[in-house]
Chain A
Amino acid sequence: SQQGEEDPQALSIQEGENATMNCSYKTSINNLQWYRQNSGRGLVHLILIRSNEREKHSGRLRVTLDTSKKSSSLLITASRAADTASYFCATDPSGNTPLVFGKGTRLSVIA
């Protein structure tokens, strides 16, 4: 069963706009990771945020984590057509079990 659930399932925006995706999870975590999947490809790791961190930046990506609400958000600023992909959150629910992936958000950036 999925631990993380992304919201929305699909998102369509214009190039230059910001895109925000959310992830909610059920149990306590050690860290939360975000991945991108381009059509027909494997997943690529974007960013990892630890449970004791609240915000993290990487280029145009900003990730927040609220452990009290068991939720995270991924913000992509000034989106580009090349950002069109599916985005998945993955949680590390305990110290010795594999990551659990959500079902993903499909982002379409229209030029």
Chain B
Amino acid sequence: NAGVTQTPKFQVLKTGQSMTLQCAQDMNHNSMYWYRQDPGMGLRLIYYSASEGTTDKGEVPNGYNVSRLNKREFSLRLESAAPSQTSVYFCASNMGLAPNYEQYFGPGTRLTVT
């Protein structure tokens, strides 16, 4: 039982390059989330998927797209990376939104955009 896994762990991009962050969970959770964490800003929600087949914007969605590939996998894509997207990205999952169960987090992806 691996929990929530994320790949890659580290990535360096040049401005304008694209990449996809992968996330998978093996807990049969319905809901999945992407956050970014910046110093002094706490966790900010980028996108979430309440259930398979649905996605919704969070607090800071600009510059990102997501795909809920199936119940297990939720990917985050940066189409044209910008230095402002330098951050640590966390994927999380839980059983659902109503009520809001505890979230399980992946280990994070550290992204630097130069």
Which residues of A line the B interface, CB within 8 A? 1-2, 30-31, 33, 35, 40-45, 48, 88, 90, 92, 95-104
Contacts and interface: CB of A to CB of B under 8 A. Distances in A.
Question: Which size class do B's interface residues fall under?
Answer: 20 to 34
Interface string B80-107: 0000000000101000011110111111
30 contacts: A2-B42, A30-B100, A33-B100, A41-B108, A42-B90, A42-B92, A42-B105, A42-B107, A43-B90, A43-B92, A43-B103, A43-B105, A45-B103, A48-B102, A88-B42, A90-B103, A92-B99, A92-B100, A95-B97, A98-B48, A98-B58, A98-B97, A99-B100, A99-B103, A100-B45, A101-B35, A102-B42, A103-B40, A103-B41, A103-B42
Contacts of B4: 42
**Residue of B97, B100, B103 with most chain A CB atoms under a 10 A cut-off:** B100
